[in-house]
Amino acid sequence: MSGSLKVGGSELINDNGGSGALQWGSGVPSGSIVQVQFNQHADYAVMSSINAETYYVLCNGTAGSGTEILNVTVTPKISNSKFLIEAQWFGELDDYSQQHNHTWAFYRGSTVLKASGTSGGIQAGWNTFPSLSNNDTTPNGVFLRYFDSPSINAETATTYKLGYRQHHGNGASVHTNRVVNAGDNSGYERGISNISVTEIAP
């Protein structure tokens, strides 16, 4: 026998036709948080050979061909949900000139979610040092969020990824969770990066 939970005639939860696996019903209030999926990366990684004017998914290895590190897949429980994508990145940009010439954005699959224009992104990272004398020992970071309304059907798995673009020149690198210098003392900061996706009922 199947069962469901209703409030005022609206179905909030059902047991998927008696299978015992609870799922959201058709009457979930708009704006409700349906689920949260996340990926937290604590290891050191470096994305190298970054060409200018090109968005890349953040990875460990050569840009565009390395192992992607800040991705999260969400399988919507409700059709036409909205998604809140958030990411926190800690690391250092190498070389120094990227400090003033870069943007971060998200990917949905292969689509870059960003502002329009040549230098369009979602957010630029913060810079903790004003001069080249601190290059390779002082971190950068960024926190960004984006609300996405992709009109995806329930049970259609979708992957979001953190993307990076720099406008300085070819051959740059991004070091994740550590400054460029590998020293392990109070002058060479280390951190943790993550990405999350929150499904919001339409």
Domain that holds residue 108: 31-200
Backbone angles phi, psi at 19, to 5 degrees: -75, -15
Same domain? For 120 and 187 the reply is: yes
Flag whether pLDDT at 8 surpasses 60: no
Give me the percent of the chain exceeding a pLDDT of 70. Answer: 84
Could you read off the pLDDT of 154-170 as tens digits, one per residue? 999 999 999 999 998 89
Residue 35 burial (10 A CB sphere; 0-12, 13-18, 19+): middle
Q: Of 11-15, 186-190, 192-196, which gets the smallest average pLDDT?
A: 11-15
In the sheet where 4-7 sits, what is the strand order?
A: 4-7, 10-14, 23-24
Cβ–Cβ contacts within 10 Å for residue 24, how many? 20
Residue 36 sits in a domain whose CATH number is 2.60.120.1340
Could you read off the pLDDT of 26-52 as tens digits, one per residue? 668 899 999 999 999 999 999 999 999
pLDDT at residue number 47 = 98
Contact 68, 116 (CB under 8 A): no
β-sheet bridge partners, residue 159: 73
| SS3 of residue 6 by DSSP | strand
| Total of domains in the chain | 2
pLDDT at residue number 1 = 46
Same domain? For 37 and 56 the reply is: yes
